[in-house]
């Protein structure tokens, strides 16, 4: 096992601003980093974990929230404008390939499995982790909007995506917990 490969990879994200903000005029010295965003995702999931009851595998959900952007240390933060051109499929394929590679060189097979589950929205845990991802983005977009940055398309996109994601949650109690965070 080479756990340091993973922590070094995560460490790089402390230095990567999110491309979507940069493209909309938020200066690099100001824009949220991927690490800051991922911390907010983890915080939202911690709040959900402290509240939710029942059959949720909280450990899995918390880990998915923390690792979901590790691949960006290798790929950079691929913006939606590129994803739209490559196709969502190609982007997902590239990120899954990177995570498999990280799995192999570090010896953590579980890493790639968790990412596949997350990326495929294959469980309520994966869906909630994705909801936290979108919710964190939405909040940051609201803050930038108040300062005069033109991030309207991200705001709208996040709202639509949240509505769609919540509908796919099977666990009704979980839906309520998540809705309480909006």
CB proximity list for 154: less than 8 A, separation 6 or greater: 20, 24, 137, 141
Among 11, 156, 163, 170, binds a second copy (CB under 8 A): 11
CA 34, 36, 40, 43 dihedral sign is positive
Site for a second copy in 151-180 (CB under 8 A): 180
Cα-based angle 177, 138, 102 (whole degrees, multiple of 5): 85
For the chain, give percent helix, strand, coil, nearest 5.
Answer: 75, 0, 25
Contact 49/58 with Cβ under 8 angstroms?
yes
* Minimum gap (Å) between residue 121 Cβ and a second copy: 20
98 contacts a second copy (rule: CB under 8 A): yes
In the complex, minimum distance from the CB of residue 84 to a second copy, in angstroms, rounded to a whole number: 9
62 versus 165: smaller Cβ distance to a second copy: 62
Q: Name the minimum Å distance from CB 119 to a second copy.
A: 16
Exactly one of 101, 105, 156, 160 binds a second copy (CB under 8 A); that residue is: 101
Residue 54 contacts a second copy per CB under 8 A: no
Q: How far is the CB of 151 from a second copy (least distance, A)?
A: 12
| Residue 17, phi then psi, degrees to nearest 5 | -70, 155
Asked if residue 89 binds a second copy (CB under 8 A), the reply is: no
d(CA 44, CA 68): 14
70 part of the interface to a second copy, by CB under 8 A: yes
Q: Which of 39, 123, 157, 161 binds a second copy (CB under 8 A)?
A: 39
| Residues 113-142 within binding reach of a second copy (CB under 8 A) | 139
Residue 125 CB, nearest approach to a second copy (Å):
12
Q: Give the integer Cα–Cα distance in Å for 128 and 134.
A: 10
Identify the bridge partners of residue 17 per DSSP, sorted by sequence position.
33
Counting contacts by CB under 8 A, is residue 82 touching a second copy? yes
């Amino acid at each position: 096992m080479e756990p340091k490969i993973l922590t070094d990879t995560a460490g790089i994200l402390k230095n990567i601003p999110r491309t979507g903000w940069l493209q909309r005029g938020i200066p690099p010295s100001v824009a949220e980093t991927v690490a800051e965003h991922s911390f907010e995702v983890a915080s939202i999931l911690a709040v959900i974990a402290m509240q939710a009851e029942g059959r949720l595998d909280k450990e899995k959900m918390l880990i998915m929230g923390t690792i979901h952007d590790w691949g960006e240390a290798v790929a950079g933060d691929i913006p939606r404008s590129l994803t739209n051109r490559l196709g969502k499929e190609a982007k997902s394929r590239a990120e899954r390939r990177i995570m498999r590679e990280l799995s192999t060189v570090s010896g953590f097979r579980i890493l790639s499995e968790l990412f596949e589950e997350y990326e495929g929205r294959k469980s309520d845990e994966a869906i909630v982790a994705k909801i936290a991802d979108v919710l964190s983005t939405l909040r940051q977009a609201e803050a930038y909007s108040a300062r005069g940055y033109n991030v309207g398309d991200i705001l709208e996109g996040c709202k639509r995506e949240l509505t769609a994601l919540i509908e796919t949650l099977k666990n009704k109690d979980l839906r309520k917990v998540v809705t309480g965070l909006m």
